[in-house]
Amino acid sequence: MSRLGDLIRLERTRQGLTFKQVAKKCGVSDKYLMEVESGKRIIADDQARRILKAIGLQETRTEAEFTLDDIAATVDLQSAVTPTLQQVVPDKKLTKKEKQGGDGDNPAVPGSIWLDALAGVLKHVPVYNAAMKEVDHRLLPITNGKIEGANPDKVYYLSAPDNLMRGFRVMKGDYLLVVPASGPVDGALMVLDTPFGKVLRKTVLMPGFQVMLQTYDDRCESEIKNLNEVTVVGKCVRLEAEL
């Protein structure tokens, strides 16, 4: 199944629509829609737009907001684009321009339709270093208007600045997805703001409005501070590590 087919199927089921309901709205057959969802059929631009509109997707993104690498990370372009290009230009080595959508005479499968399909369901999430300089990005799915229960515009990844948390399985350079937090959470890995930049600490709530801040490099070390001495900016909810 292509990832675009996955997307259409996911949104159709989220809307609680059957094949017949969507097919009727779009003016296509049940079989046609099933083949689209399974990735067996390449859909034309206007047909794809009708399906996406029928299942409630909004066209809020422009092509400039996504690179080809972004699209490839979320859509099965190899299976979706290549067969159609081969039909349009048989026995010819494809140029980079043709692979991206062809020219005005032979547009093949325009990249814009894949971008339209991504609208409202994916978010370009920045990856920051300790100085909050963007060094990378990731595309994450938006569910019910949220990413991990938070406003999509408020979440980001932090690249672990050092190995002070490796005892907690976080190594330097690992990516941690951060959601907003106004205070420390007991037993959670938190991002703290310091004069030297953002740092990672495991927080343990203590009596008397105090919090224990833990690091774990060669050994576990702790310091206890008053809550009003600690500036929490976020809670880490996901870890991405290189193997």
pLDDT tens-place values along the chain, 243 residues long: 455 566 677 777 777 788 888 888 877 888 888 887 777 777 666 676 677 777 776 544 434 444 434 444 444 433 433 333 333 334 444 454 444 444 444 443 344 445 455 556 788 899 999 999 999 999 888 888 899 999 999 999 999 999 999 999 999 999 999 999 989 999 999 999 998 889 999 999 999 999 999 999 989 999 999 999 999 999 999 999 877
Q: Is the Cβ–Cβ distance between 191 and 208 less than 8 Å?
A: no
Which of 118, 142, 159 terminates a domain? The answer is 118
Q: How far apart are CA 119 and CA 65, in angstroms?
A: 11
Q: State the CATH number of the domain containing residue 39.
A: 1.10.260.40
Q: How far apart are CA 114 and CA 69, in angstroms?
A: 12
Range of the domain at 90: 3-118
Instruction: Please state the domain count of the chain.
Output: 2
Q: Are residues 9 and 114 located together in one domain of the fold?
A: yes
> Containing H/E element for 176?
strand 175-180
Which of 87, 118, 149 terminates a domain? The answer is 118
Detail the DSSP E strand segments found in 78-132.
122-128
Q: Are residues 97 and 132 located together in one domain of the fold?
A: no
- The whole model's pTM is what? 0.56
B/e letters for 123-145, b = 16+ CB within 10 Å, e = fewer, are bebebbbbeeeeeebbbbeeeee
Q: Are residues 32 and 97 located together in one domain of the fold?
A: yes
Rounded to 5 degrees, φ, ψ at 172 are -55, 130
User: Which two tokens mark 89?
Assistant: 């230009």
Which of 118, 144, 166 terminates a domain? The answer is 118
Q: Is the Cβ–Cβ distance between 184 and 230 less than 8 Å?
A: yes
